Structure 1
Amino acid sequence: MKVMNKNQELTKSRINNLIKALSNGIYEREHTIRLCLLAALSGESVFLLGPPGIAKSLIAKRLIQAFDNASFFDYLMTSFSTPEEVFGPLSIKELKENSNYIRLTKGYLPTADIVFLDEIWKAGPAILNTLLTVINERTFKNGQHISPIPMRLLITASNETPAKNSGLDALYDRMLVRINIDRIKEKKNFQAMLMSKNTLSEIPASLTISNEEFFNWQEHINDVQLNQSVFDLIYVLKNKIENMDETSDYNNEHLYISDRRWKKSIRLLKACAFFNGKNEISPLDLLILTDCIWDTPNSRHSVQKIIEDFAAKDAFGQLQIQNNIDNILEKSNLIRQEMVTHLSEKMILSSGRLKDKYQLNVENCKDYSMNNKPMVKLVLLEINQSVSDIHNGDSEYVYINSDELNKAIRNGKGEIYGYINRQPKICPLMFEIDAKNNLIIKDTSNRSIHVCLAKKDTKQLSKLQNWQHSASLLEQELRQTQQLIKTANAQFHSNLPHNFIEKSLILHTDASFITLSKNIEQLEIDMHNNTQRILNINSDFQC
């Protein structure tokens, strides 16, 4: 990600301050205003879905103040609305004198910078067909003349989405940004709304956008890059949406996203990146598509869940990192298990007159002496919390008398006294035999710890070098994965604060990194438990 220059930082800060100023006094609508402003700055259209009386028209009127000398046109559609009421009346003079079919457009949609059309789906075909051309080409055909229009933002609104097979799909498809608005929910905001005066503060002149700035920014938006890695993420998201299964909350509806909407979304993403101070689209910018790719209230809920899943798993490679963690742990467990299986001391089961008994074969064992008493050495093959309450910390090996062990363990388990890690104080030690006839020692948490006799020859350690090499490679993988988390987390935080992404999605993404950090810390502990013995066990056998 390229580092933003000072001008980009100033633009990002200014847009953020402008959003706050526009939102002042309009409660619980800041995210809507953010998206509407972004749509205006990128030349896209907005559809607001929600019941009457929730400030939809107020939001549109507020957006005028973001621009210097901006003009505004709004209209409430009905089934009786005529093109003259939206695009301007016919000039009777031109019709009589020159037989020209010319509209007087001043003060109507063709001359407005910000347009708000309420109850859009109630309009008739004559209005909607003309509107489709206006949105597509940003031009208006007036008689024989086709003129560009200054419209920067079209906001449409309704309390419903267009009905299926109503012929409105083409127009609805061009409403790229789609926002569901509800009543005020927070008590303090509801009270503030009731007690507030019906006047909104003026926007400081230092924040408003001049025509020169607006058109200059359009060129810079075009220069924002979409790199291959971010495109790959867009394709991942596209597949997630297209492969929504029947168990989703989508009620088995088919969500269709046209290629045109994907294409238009790139322009919005570029603007999102630019006004967040970046020269290229970041993975975090993609989360804004939450408000672009739904078409019904049901699909909105499903899209939101998919975007949350994408934010937590895919946006910054979190799922791949978690897979790395799981794979490292699995390989670490396999190495430990292979060592334990290979080295675990097997007990000999012999038949007696009355009862079978277990015995430890101490042939070829190294001889030790503690307090003038002959001993054998048992190396503990797993990290533990100590095998005696008298001794604190990991018990690496114990010294015991083999005759006492055979006497105590002959029936499958028993307690004898021995020494831990050459400590001079004698301790009680509990031994058992597991289902595979392996000799085990119990630690203070009653965990079974496998043991191995230290012998005179080194045949038992023939595979040690391979285990240690594998453990060292896993340590390298662990460090690489830790670095991946740091890099991905840094990339995420380099985009914060973000001017347009909803706070809940930011927190959701951040939570995924908190989880990864906890998991990598636990992996390091588990790796230590699994590999520390392997890396150091040679000295335990030799001393």
Structure 2
Amino acid sequence: MSLQSDLNAVIGEVGALYHERAEETRMITLGMLAGQHTLMLGPPGTAKSALVRELTSRISSAEYWEILLNKFSAPSQIFGPIDVGALAQGQYRQILDGHATTCEIAFVDEIFKCSSAALNSMLAFLNERVYHPESGGAPVACPLISAVCASNELAEDDTVDALYDRLLIRMEVDYLARPESFEALLLSAIDDGQQQAAQTTTVELAALQQAVRGEVPAIALGAAVRSALVDLRADLRHREIVSSDRRWKQAVRLLQASAWLAGREQVSLDDLAVLTHVLWDVPSNRGTVDRLVRGYLAPDDREMADVADQIAQLGRELDRRLDAQDVDGLYDWAFDRHTLLRTAHRSLSTLRATAVEEGRATSWHDAQLEAAERIYRRILTEGLGMDEGAVNAQLASGGAR
């Protein structure tokens, strides 16, 4: 099998183990292929660290390193402690083995709690892949391919802005939303390991490094995509959503990684979908970025984005009506919107099926369907008062996966 096939198999297997994490799994993988870093932002207990460990364990021979930071974490905890034996002989040096300086894959938990003392060293490590020893001298080259960082919340201290900017991919992770996913979680608590994937595909570190250094950068970036990126940047700036020049340049490598993983020799407009996880700076403008990016995709994806946006608007309207506590008005509204929502849900299912037939990645389509089903389920239960069995039957007849 080719490396592309193996990586796609890994994504599928890990996605099957961790429900509602298919998009996160794919984006972390693309981050590795692009030689870039991923931020997973979400509350505790959402399988962030477990997902990273499972995914990165599929890279044979890679040195993995992780750390949980706090505001007192010293640079020596990250890059290596002082060699006490050498110090006794009058030599000042650090023990670098087994720390960040020697790993290919890193997981940094609570990244925004990086101490001010370690901040500059962390910046150089992530961006330039070098570490400047405490004793001075030549910088130490680090073999880091990609780091996955996690945090329960964004930092309010602007001193970490430079660190935040170096995390190209930004993923919001929340608790499980789909009832069937939650049920599977409950079953896994009493399972003796049978829930593990039937296959455990791995990839060789050397093959991954070759792709990162040579194959992915060789993917062409055509004029149509370049033009779309120029226009997209202008659209975002018009809405005061600004990304640094460095992020745009790094985003190109992520687009190349997306095309490479799909087996193409040139970036296509479909690959722009990954930018929905790159170009937002705060969660409140993520929806705006998503809609703008989707406007540059292939017609089917634009249609899916429009339908998903309509369903999201219905969800916001449902919240407003629930807050108003108008029971009779809520029922009438939900009844009137029911046919519209069912048709929209079927459209999403059809568009996803088309993407499958065309061999395109469907993690984004899955996420849109999951979001639509959550809102559909809420309108049926909270708006129309249906029980769970009736809701499941309705979703099944409405074209759910």
**Alignment TM-score, normalising by the size of structure 1:** 0.54
| Mean CA deviation greater in 267-276 or 83-92 | 83-92
Q: What pairs up with 1:61-140 in 2 under 5 angstroms?
A: 61-100=53-92, 102-140=93-131
Q: What pairs up with 1:526-541 in 2 under 5 angstroms?
A: none
Q: Is 1:154 the counterpart of 2:147 in the alignment? A: yes
Structure 1 residue aligned with 2:203: 209
Structure 2 Cα separation of the partners of residues 296 and 180 of structure 1: 10
Structure 2 residue aligned with 1:230: 225
Structure 1 residue aligned with 2:25: 33
Q: Is the 8 A contact 1:49 1:160 kept in 2?
A: yes
Structure 2 Cα separation of the partners of residues 88 and 500 of structure 1: 42
Structure 2 Cα separation of the partners of residues 107 and 498 of structure 1: 39
Q: Is 1:243 the counterpart of 2:238 in the alignment? A: yes
Structure 1 Cα separation of the partners of residues 202 and 277 of structure 2: 25
Structure 2 residue aligned with 1:287: 273
* Residues 222-275 of structure 1: CA deviation (Å, up to 9, x unaligned): 21100111101111211221122xxxxxxxxx4220111000000111111011
| Mean CA deviation greater in 90-99 or 233-242 | 90-99
- Residue of 176, 182, 185 corresponding to 2:174: 182
Match of 1:54, SS state, is coil
Q: What pairs up with 1:60-459 in 2 under 5 angstroms?
A: 60-100=52-92, 102-142=93-133, 143=135, 144-163=137-156, 166-196=158-188, 197=191, 201=196, 204=199, 207-218=201-212, 219-244=214-239, 254-311=240-297
Q: Is the 8 A contact 1:75 1:86 kept in 2?
A: yes
Structure 2 Cα separation of the partners of residues 260 and 500 of structure 1: 29
Structure 1 Cα separation of the partners of residues 165 and 367 of structure 2: 25
Match of 2:159, SS state, is coil
Q: Is the 8 A contact 2:62 2:205 kept in 1?
A: no
Q: Is the 8 A contact 1:284 1:495 kept in 2?
A: no
Match of 1:167, SS state, is helix
Structure 2 Cα separation of the partners of residues 203 and 210 of structure 1: 20
For 1:50, give the aligned amino acid. Answer: G
For 1:209, give the aligned amino acid. Answer: V
In terms of fraction of residues, the more helix-rich structure is 2
**Alignment TM-score, normalising by the size of structure 2:** 0.72
Structure 2 Cα separation of the partners of residues 93 and 308 of structure 1: 58
Q: For the structure 1 residues 12 and 309, does the alpha-carbon distance in structure 2 shift closer, same or farther, using more than 3 Å as the test? A: same
Structure 2 Cα separation of the partners of residues 130 and 92 of structure 1: 22
For 2:49, give the aligned amino acid. Answer: S
In terms of fraction of residues, the more strand-rich structure is 1
Structure 1 Cα separation of the partners of residues 91 and 202 of structure 2: 43
Q: For the structure 1 residues 504 and 14, does the alpha-carbon distance in structure 2 shift closer, same or farther, using more than 3 Å as the test? A: same
Quote how far apart the aligned CAs of 1:315 are: 8.3
Quote how far apart the aligned CAs of 1:29 are: 0.8
Q: For the structure 1 residues 494 and 225, does the alpha-carbon distance in structure 2 shift closer, same or farther, using more than 3 Å as the test? A: farther
- Residue of 50, 61, 65 corresponding to 1:58: 50
Match of 2:9, SS state, is helix
Match of 2:171, SS state, is strand
Q: Is the 8 A contact 2:259 2:267 kept in 1?
A: yes
Match of 1:168, SS state, is helix
Structure 2 Cα separation of the partners of residues 314 and 498 of structure 1: 12
Structure 2 residue aligned with 1:322: none
Q: For the structure 1 residues 84 and 17, does the alpha-carbon distance in structure 2 shift closer, same or farther, using more than 3 Å as the test? A: same
Structure 2 Cα separation of the partners of residues 168 and 500 of structure 1: 34
Structure 1 Cα separation of the partners of residues 254 and 152 of structure 2: 25
Quote how far apart the aligned CAs of 1:23 are: 2.2
* Residues 267-307 of structure 1: CA deviation (Å, up to 9, x unaligned): 11111101110001000001110000111110112212222
Question: Is there any run of 5+ residues in structure 1 with no aligned partner, and where?
Answer: 1-6, 245-253, 318-488, 508-543
Q: Is the 8 A contact 1:64 1:71 kept in 2?
A: no
Structure 2 Cα separation of the partners of residues 198 and 78 of structure 1: 34
Match of 2:62, SS state, is coil
Q: Is 1:48 the counterpart of 2:43 in the alignment? A: no
* Residues 429-484 of structure 1: CA deviation (Å, up to 9, x unaligned): xxxxxxxxxxxxxxxxxxxxxxxxxxxxxxxxxxxxxxxxxxxxxxxxxxxxxxxx
Structure 2 Cα separation of the partners of residues 295 and 269 of structure 1: 19
Q: Is the 8 A contact 1:242 1:255 kept in 2?
A: yes
Quote how far apart the aligned CAs of 1:125 are: 1.2
Quote how far apart the aligned CAs of 1:311 are: 3.1
Quote how far apart the aligned CAs of 1:140 are: 2.1
Structure 2 Cα separation of the partners of residues 12 and 506 of structure 1: 25
Q: For the structure 1 residues 279 and 500, does the alpha-carbon distance in structure 2 shift closer, same or farther, using more than 3 Å as the test? A: farther
* Residues 503-530 of structure 1: CA deviation (Å, up to 9, x unaligned): 16899xxxxxxxxxxxxxxxxxxxxxxx
Quote how far apart the aligned CAs of 1:107 are: 2.1
Q: Is the 8 A contact 2:80 2:96 kept in 1?
A: yes
Structure 2 residue aligned with 1:19: 11
Q: Is the 8 A contact 1:233 1:314 kept in 2?
A: no
Structure 1 Cα separation of the partners of residues 124 and 192 of structure 2: 37
For 1:221, give the aligned amino acid. Answer: V
For 1:58, give the aligned amino acid. Answer: A
Structure 2 Cα separation of the partners of residues 500 and 139 of structure 1: 37
| Higher RCO by CA contacts (8 Å cutoff, separation 6 or greater) | 2
* Residues 135-190 of structure 1: CA deviation (Å, up to 9, x unaligned): 11112233424332222221111122222x62211111110000000100111111
Q: Is the 8 A contact 1:287 1:501 kept in 2?
A: no
Count of matched residue positions in the alignment of Structure 1 and Structure 2? 314
Q: For the structure 1 residues 187 and 204, does the alpha-carbon distance in structure 2 shift closer, same or farther, using more than 3 Å as the test? A: closer
Structure 2 Cα separation of the partners of residues 499 and 277 of structure 1: 11
Identity percentage of aligned residues: 28
Match of 2:158, SS state, is coil
Structure 2 residue aligned with 1:497: 359
